[in-house]
Chain A
């Protein structure tokens, strides 16, 4: 009977190199990448560049937190990229085409994001379709919706309208502040990201619903037999995922100041990679928000540095793919 205790204690005493790498590999990788770019690229260690990196990370992190929620309930949401695009177009349209003020401009995309989440959970939780295929379908459908609505054209200030005039509204300063403004020298979007990271982390780690999210994902049957309303939690997860993707879309629209079609497509891959890299941070072994943040930092720094080294964006996709495979391999090693 005393055996298990002994072996547990032993394990803690002598962590193998692999375990060390697993636990701290992500942090190590971030440091190595920063050091490398810092040495080789003169412009890397500048305030402007860091603020740029952080701004781009903030959007990825928002999207990735949504993905993290869907991973926590053992699901998957491929539709986040399309939801980002949809939200970008929706907020731009509200501002430019309908001359709306800030409240409506924020509410419309967020409600759309929630609607996408509800649609996904209808397909996955109620109709019991496989999550990957269901969200693959919504990914295409949502992307089609935003393309159809804009007829494939971006939405921008003073754009010409089909009836000959120009668009009545414009990107208002209060909206642009979200993606471009600064508070005490810190980009507002970065603050927003940090607040949401901390809030989600506290929520998932220390609250009852947070814990039930994890339990639902870890063992659906045990959770059900423990009286946890598992379907409700799975629904929440997809709704939260849609909500955060929409929030990411708002920040994106605000940052670039136009409503570009299909602008969110690349965030799916970045977000998924960030969330999976996050599995291993500090040896968590499960999806977690702090890990996701580090994952998107790694992705952000790497992509920034590669851009500086004039690696074309299409070649960067190769590197993203390799990183995702590496992160998946790591999370598999942990399971064994």
Chain B
């Protein structure tokens, strides 16, 4: 499509070329000859689903990893990066998604901006702070930030921190800057401001590699795009000539069907409902309801605010609003109260939030059952063992020993323990936050069947995930979550995988997405 990367002459070599990059980890090929060409002064989008190879490719570019095969040339000069410092020297800059990891919170803005230089200056033990301050002020102007260079990082907003990292990257005269999900945590106005700055820098000849799941932004800010799928480039070209639907189709590749399973039946009465639930962390208000026996999915990209919602539903973080369970109104101030009313959360970070790692399987499983197993404070060991044994058997936890510490179990078995601790309680509302994260395919099926049987028993299930295919497999109803808000409630069999991505990427809620409708899909994919 473009000028061919590999063997062309000096003239065409301006810009950044990654040529036929191969990388594998063990037996898994992550990149199969990926080429990427970024011209000077352009914003180049890098798209792909999770696991497509974006991160690996960018790590190679940033000098974090070295490729098995392939070359990198910048303005005609071949580069060998053996460390991030090499990449930096060659003009590669990286603005990571978690900007806090790149900054020192207790230091001032100008000290942070000068940090790299301070670290590498060996011959000059004395620094001129005045000089550093002036330099920082100038860089801050370049990124459109009007804060004092003497401000402490920990007093800066997230948006400011991001621009400070950008300023820091510019200070090392980077000409190719990787922006990894730069808008994930930004408000709309902050996003607009960021785009203005990107455009200004672009005019000065700086190029950006822009990684984002928010496809609407790609259309807005990017000039060209390279789309990866399963370690291969499946498309590259101008953004303007590519519709959102086409982008999604390239990213997804094969056609996913909607829920191809017998429709489950569930009750008509709302077992669980929240009204005007205000989530302090995302500063958003949500309403949602789940019928008796219904599996309700909440689809949202990483950073859409799913975990914040889950934590609010169980009153773990600051939340106000109304909870309704079985027609009764509640207001919860702590997880303890929410749990007492029948809500339970299977948290996303299972090792950090769900398990007592040093403890054996037995005590992890019975932590919520102790009251019924206790007589005069005394835990009745025999009874406890038999209850735990039943759970281990019915959940098929492997190895089936009660005294193994859960630390030694595989991810899937750990997850079964986390779920298992609620099965014999009187919990009626189960909230699953990314329950299949880091577990293998078999365990995933087992978790699904546990969830289905819970629903069949008449529990209310909420299933929050960014793995949209899972929702089509298991959910009866799906809420779409964007930027902390629930913007749509649809029956699972009325929506396609592509539509889910479309809506969650910020696609409009009008008729546009109907182009992914079921009828046309088969023909569309083959074209």
Task: Please give the residue numbers on chain A whose beta carbons come within 8 Å of chain B beta carbons, in ascending order.
Answer: 1-2, 4-5, 8, 203, 206-209, 211-212, 214-215, 218-219, 221-229, 285-286
A284 to B335, CA, bound (A): 31
Known: A8-B404, A208-B370, A215-B367. A227 touches B335 (CB 8 A): yes
User: Which 5 pairs across A and B sit closest by C-beta, in order of nearness?
Assistant: A227-B339, A5-B399, A207-B377, A208-B370, A208-B374
Is B421 within 8 A of A211, CB to CB? no
Instruction: Provide 26 A-B residue pairs closer than 8 Å at the C-beta atoms, listed in order of the A residue.
Output: A1-B442, A4-B398, A4-B399, A4-B410, A8-B399, A8-B401, A8-B404, A206-B378, A207-B374, A207-B377, A207-B378, A208-B370, A208-B371, A208-B373, A208-B377, A208-B379, A215-B356, A218-B356, A219-B355, A219-B356, A222-B353, A225-B353, A226-B367, A226-B368, A227-B336, A227-B339
B465 surroundings in chain A (CB, below 8 A): none
Candidates A207, A208, A218; contact of B358 at CB < 8 Å: A218
The residue of chain A having its C-beta at the shortest distance from the C-beta of B363 within the complex is A211
A285 to B360, CA, bound (A): 13
Answer whether residue B395 sits at the interface, using C-beta atoms and an 8 A cutoff.
no
A246 to B477, CA, bound (A): 60
A285 surroundings in chain B (CB, below 8 A): 358
Q: Mark B371-390, 1 if CB is under 8 A from A, else 0.
A: 10110011101000000000
Known: A4-B399, A221-B352, A225-B316. A206 touches B379 (CB 8 A): yes
B355 surroundings in chain A (CB, below 8 A): 219, 222
Is B316 within 8 A of A1, CB to CB? no
A203 to B409, CA, bound (A): 29
Candidates B357, B363, B398; contact of A5 at CB < 8 Å: B398
Question: Within residues 322 to 372 of chain B, which ones have a CB less than 8 A from any CB in chain A?
Answer: 335-336, 339-340, 345, 347, 352-359, 363, 367-368, 370-371
A286 to B340, CA, bound (A): 30
The residue of chain A having its C-beta at the shortest distance from the C-beta of B340 within the complex is A227
Answer whether residue B314 sits at the interface, using C-beta atoms and an 8 A cutoff.
yes
Is B408 within 8 A of A4, CB to CB? yes
B336 surroundings in chain A (CB, below 8 A): 224, 227-229
A221 to B349, CA, bound (A): 10
The residue of chain B having its C-beta at the shortest distance from the C-beta of A7 within the complex is B408
The residue of chain A having its C-beta at the shortest distance from the C-beta of B349 within the complex is A221
Closest CB-CB distance, A77 to chain B, in whole Å?
A: 22
A69 to B370, CA, bound (A): 21
B358 surroundings in chain A (CB, below 8 A): 218, 285-286
A238 to B421, CA, bound (A): 29
A152 to B188, CA, bound (A): 66
A228 to B356, CA, bound (A): 13
Closest CB-CB distance, B380 to chain A, in whole Å?
A: 9
A229 surroundings in chain B (CB, below 8 A): 336
Is A226 within 8 A of B357, CB to CB? no
Beyond A4-B399, A208-B378, A226-B339, 16 additional contacts (C-beta under 8 Å) are: A1-B410, A4-B408, A5-B401, A8-B408, A207-B374, A207-B378, A208-B374, A209-B377, A215-B356, A218-B357, A219-B357, A221-B352, A226-B421, A227-B368, A228-B367, A229-B336
Closest CB-CB distance, A215 to chain B, in whole Å?
A: 5
Closest CB-CB distance, A201 to chain B, in whole Å?
A: 14
A227 to B358, CA, bound (A): 19
Closest CB-CB distance, B334 to chain A, in whole Å?
A: 8
A218 surroundings in chain B (CB, below 8 A): 356-359
The residue of chain B having its C-beta at the shortest distance from the C-beta of A285 within the complex is B358
A1 to B381, CA, bound (A): 29
A327 to B353, CA, bound (A): 29
Interface centre among B345, B359, B363, B381 (most CB of A within 10 A): B359
The contact size tier of chain B is 35 or more
The residue of chain A having its C-beta at the shortest distance from the C-beta of B409 within the complex is A4
The residue of chain A having its C-beta at the shortest distance from the C-beta of B314 within the complex is A225
A222 surroundings in chain B (CB, below 8 A): 352-356
Known: A207-B374, A208-B370, A211-B379. A221 touches B398 (CB 8 A): no
A209 surroundings in chain B (CB, below 8 A): 377
Is A1 within 8 A of B347, CB to CB? no
A203 to B377, CA, bound (A): 9
Is A225 within 8 A of B357, CB to CB? no
Closest CB-CB distance, A302 to chain B, in whole Å?
A: 29
Closest CB-CB distance, A301 to chain B, in whole Å?
A: 30
A2 surroundings in chain B (CB, below 8 A): 398
A203 surroundings in chain B (CB, below 8 A): 377
Closest CB-CB distance, A103 to chain B, in whole Å?
A: 27
Is B335 within 8 A of A225, CB to CB? yes
Is A219 within 8 A of B352, CB to CB? yes
Closest CB-CB distance, A259 to chain B, in whole Å?
A: 36
The residue of chain A having its C-beta at the shortest distance from the C-beta of B350 within the complex is A222
A225 surroundings in chain B (CB, below 8 A): 314, 316, 335, 345, 347, 353-354
B370 surroundings in chain A (CB, below 8 A): 208, 211-212
A226 to B398, CA, bound (A): 23
A234 to B336, CA, bound (A): 16
The residue of chain B having its C-beta at the shortest distance from the C-beta of A5 within the complex is B399
B401 surroundings in chain A (CB, below 8 A): 5, 8
B357 surroundings in chain A (CB, below 8 A): 218-219
Closest CB-CB distance, B392 to chain A, in whole Å?
A: 13
B371 surroundings in chain A (CB, below 8 A): 208
B345 surroundings in chain A (CB, below 8 A): 225
Candidates B314, B359, B381; contact of A215 at CB < 8 Å: B359
A224 to B336, CA, bound (A): 7
Closest CB-CB distance, A230 to chain B, in whole Å?
A: 9
Closest CB-CB distance, B257 to chain A, in whole Å?
A: 30
The residue of chain B having its C-beta at the shortest distance from the C-beta of A224 within the complex is B335
The residue of chain B having its C-beta at the shortest distance from the C-beta of A286 within the complex is B358
A215 to B353, CA, bound (A): 12
A324 to B399, CA, bound (A): 38
A331 to B449, CA, bound (A): 41
B367 surroundings in chain A (CB, below 8 A): 211, 215, 226, 228
Closest CB-CB distance, A216 to chain B, in whole Å?
A: 10
A212 surroundings in chain B (CB, below 8 A): 370
The residue of chain B having its C-beta at the shortest distance from the C-beta of A202 within the complex is B378
The residue of chain A having its C-beta at the shortest distance from the C-beta of B352 within the complex is A221
Q: Mark B465-497, 1 if CB is under 8 A from A, else 0.
A: 000000000000000000000000000000000
A215 surroundings in chain B (CB, below 8 A): 356, 359, 363, 367
A228 to B363, CA, bound (A): 14
B410 surroundings in chain A (CB, below 8 A): 1, 4
Closest CB-CB distance, A28 to chain B, in whole Å?
A: 24
B363 surroundings in chain A (CB, below 8 A): 211, 215
A223 to B368, CA, bound (A): 10
A28 to B177, CA, bound (A): 61
Candidates A207, A214, A224, A228; contact of B379 at CB < 8 Å: A207
Interface centre among B378, B404, B421, B442 (most CB of A within 10 A): B378
A219 to B351, CA, bound (A): 9
A43 to B519, CA, bound (A): 97
B404 surroundings in chain A (CB, below 8 A): 4, 8
The residue of chain B having its C-beta at the shortest distance from the C-beta of A221 within the complex is B353
A285 to B374, CA, bound (A): 26
Interface centre among A207, A214, A224, A225 (most CB of B within 10 A): A225
The residue of chain A having its C-beta at the shortest distance from the C-beta of B403 within the complex is A8
A229 to B339, CA, bound (A): 12
Is A224 within 8 A of B316, CB to CB? yes
Closest CB-CB distance, B373 to chain A, in whole Å?
A: 8
A214 surroundings in chain B (CB, below 8 A): 356, 359
A228 surroundings in chain B (CB, below 8 A): 336, 367
A286 surroundings in chain B (CB, below 8 A): 358
